[in-house]
Amino acid sequence: MTDKPILRVSNLSVDFPMHKSVLHAVKDVSFDLHRGETLCVVGESGSGKSVTARAILQLVAKPGVITSGQINLASESGEIDIVALGNSGPAIRQIRGRRIAMIFQEPMTSLSPVHTIGHQIVETILLHEKISKEEARKRAAALLDRVRIPNPEAALDRYSFEFSGGMRQRAMIAMALSCNPEILIADEPTTALDVTTQAEILSLIRELQRDRGMAVLFITHDMGVVAQIADRVMVMFRGEKVEEANVFDLFARPQQAYTRALLGSVLKLETPAPRPTRPVAETPIAQINDLALHFPLNPGFFGRPTAYLKAIDGISLTINEGETVGVVGESGSGKTTLGRTLLRVYTPTDGQVNYRRGDGTTVDIASLGKAGMKSLYGEVRMIFQDPHSSLNPRMTIYQIISEPLRTNTDMSEHQMMDRVQELLTRVGLPADIGDRYPHAFSGGQRQRISIARAIAVRPRLIIADEPTSALDVSLRHQVLDLMRDLQSEFGLSYLFISHDISVIRYFCDRVAVMKNGRIVEIGDVAQICERPEHEYTRTLISAVPRPDPRLRADAPA
């Protein structure tokens, strides 16, 4: 890297004036970007990595302002300072899309739903180049072909909602590359995608970069992705640059305490947590037999519908007492539906769920009536993925946690207050936060509140639907460790639903791999992760980016 950098960011600061204070989103950050290299900016939520990326294109959302610093883009006639160009006017528009292009996190919503894919790509080309519409269309088709979208000519006239998530991100990449930009900024481009799709998109970006000698600024929170694609890495924390290093050096010899902590929490998930050995004779708590849930796809004007979506297509699974059973699968595999069906959010169309109650009797959840289900809510509880939307913002923490006590037990107000304080302490939160509201807490704290709510009634089985997916990586193992402690303390059983195989390996005893509403493979976690037998499981596991750059094909010996 002896050549002159294409982009030099020096002493960049971005402020967001809040109601009464100022949030310094980016503080005095400097870095260089060279032609043909991939610089990964990594950090947890709130680290300022996305704001930094947006500042380069003058796209910082209101009320954010760039308060100081320079962003120098190398040009034929010397350097252009993007900060000096301001956020509107022809000068900055000449750079956006033409010299520096950007792709975004949400492929579902980053393309307009009311314009064809072709229209959006052709528009970009015509904005920056004086060529005819036919030529632009021809180039757009070639681009779609280049990002491996089948039948590109026809795809030009399709709408984004007719494409899958991975296809949309490909189209987005084609659009970004349409004017041969020198720099591509990718803001978490694979976070919303399944792991197998993520692997395809990452290799596509890498390939296109080699072809064109583009510089890529890649924003991510995923150390696995960093290890796979970065040349250099910049670590950010609370708006500041913590460390910048070659990817192999960073993973081998992290210099700063924060980087070490971040890598530590990633690597901790790489090895399974110590587990007590399972008893020889297992007592099942729930036995799922040939469970099926089919949604009719068409209403069937008169009579029966003709096609069904088989969300769950004949699943048999046993959860034993005190055991953690993981369910892993990609989006659309039916794993979330399975969890919800066990609580009768959906009524299954076929099969049984034989649940053994605390008093030794067995009931079939699949055919249980309303009153029977109500009595079960004290024994089977759920923890949800998104701690921001699963807590009612208008209820206090005390009201939230005591609500299941109110509906399932006849405790007095006084008893409930004591129980809530005890629960809050148990999940590692201060006991006196009962009269505050959820918005006052961070994602990790909210998930602890959700856990306190779930264990309030001393349940026996908890269905946890992606409880750590919305959390930063440093918080994940903390929440999992808490759930593990509660398990040994109260003898809980978990059905643990996740798309993330590393979390499953860390936390579960057994795991079921789901695809298209069926279980393709089930067994001990170690066995499935080390020696998967089914082809699909193998693909799933090999697609997960491992946080170790030495596993890369281009790693130095």
- Cα(470)–Cα(493) distance, integer angstroms: 22
- Cα(471)–Cα(479) distance, integer angstroms: 9
Structure tokens at 31: 């870095």
Q: How far is the CB of 191 from other proteins (least distance, A)?
A: 13
Is 82 one of the binding residues for other proteins (CB under 8 A)? no
Instruction: List strand residue ranges (DSSP E) for 153-270, in order.
Output: 183-187, 215-220, 232-237, 240-246
Contacts of 87 (CB under 8 A, 6+ apart): 58, 59, 60
- Cα(292)–Cα(312) distance, integer angstroms: 5
Is 543 one of the binding residues for other proteins (CB under 8 A)? no
Q: Is 545 exposed, middle or buried (0-12, 13-18, 19+ CB in 10 A)?
A: buried
Is 170 one of the binding residues for other proteins (CB under 8 A)? no
Is 94 one of the binding residues for other proteins (CB under 8 A)? yes
Is 57 one of the binding residues for other proteins (CB under 8 A)? yes
Q: In this complex, which beta carbon is closest to other proteins, that of residue 115 or of residue 253?
A: 115
97-116 positions binding other proteins, by CB under 8 A: 97-98, 101-102, 104-106, 109-116
Kindly report the three-state secondary structure assignment for every residue of 28-70: EEEEEECCCCEEEEECCCCCCHHHHHHHHCCCCCCCCEEEEEE
- Cα(358)–Cα(361) distance, integer angstroms: 7
Is 215 one of the binding residues for other proteins (CB under 8 A)? no
Q: In this complex, which beta carbon is closest to other proteins, that of residue 160 or of residue 336?
A: 160
> In this chain, which of 2, 77, 88, 412 binds other proteins, going by CB under 8 A?
88
Total residues binding other proteins (CB under 8 A):
33
Binding window for other proteins (CB under 8 A); candidates: 171-179, 375-383, 517-525, 532-540 = 171-179
Nearest CA among 104, 216, 221 for reference residue 171: 104
Is 96 one of the binding residues for other proteins (CB under 8 A)? yes
381-440 positions binding other proteins, by CB under 8 A: none
> In this chain, which of 9, 73, 85, 95 binds other proteins, going by CB under 8 A?
95
CB 419 within 8 A of CB 467: no
Q: How far is the CB of 227 from other proteins (least distance, A)?
A: 27
> In this chain, which of 74, 127, 482, 526 binds other proteins, going by CB under 8 A?
127
Q: How far is the CB of 93 from other proteins (least distance, A)?
A: 4
Q: In this complex, which beta carbon is closest to other proteins, that of residue 185 or of residue 401?
A: 185
Is 176 one of the binding residues for other proteins (CB under 8 A)? yes
β partners of residue 521: 513
Q: How far is the CB of 120 from other proteins (least distance, A)?
A: 8
Q: How far is the CB of 529 from other proteins (least distance, A)?
A: 35
Binding window for other proteins (CB under 8 A); candidates: 41-49, 156-164, 258-266, 533-541 = 156-164
Nearest CA among 72, 112, 113, 118 for reference residue 95: 72
- Cα(385)–Cα(86) distance, integer angstroms: 40
Kindly report the three-state secondary structure assignment for every residue of 108-150: CCCCCCCCEHHHHHHHHHHHHCCCCHHHHHHHHHHHHHHCCCC
Q: In this complex, which beta carbon is closest to other proteins, that of residue 174 or of residue 263?
A: 174
Contacts of 291 (CB under 8 A, 6+ apart): 312, 314, 315, 316, 338, 341, 348, 350, 351, 352, 353, 366
Q: Of how many residues is the chain composed?
A: 557
Binding window for other proteins (CB under 8 A); candidates: 91-99, 426-434, 516-524, 543-551 = 91-99
Q: In this complex, which beta carbon is closest to other proteins, that of residue 59 or of residue 273?
A: 59
Q: How far is the CB of 116 from other proteins (least distance, A)?
A: 8
Is 50 one of the binding residues for other proteins (CB under 8 A)? no
Q: In this complex, which beta carbon is closest to other proteins, that of residue 113 or of residue 274?
A: 113
Q: In this complex, which beta carbon is closest to other proteins, that of residue 186 or of residue 483?
A: 186
Q: In this complex, which beta carbon is closest to other proteins, that of residue 23 or of residue 59?
A: 59
- Cα(184)–Cα(38) distance, integer angstroms: 9
Structure tokens at 441: 């807490």
Interface with other proteins (CB under 8 A): 57, 59, 61, 88, 93-98, 101-102, 104-106, 109-116, 123-124, 127-128, 159, 161-162, 172, 175-176
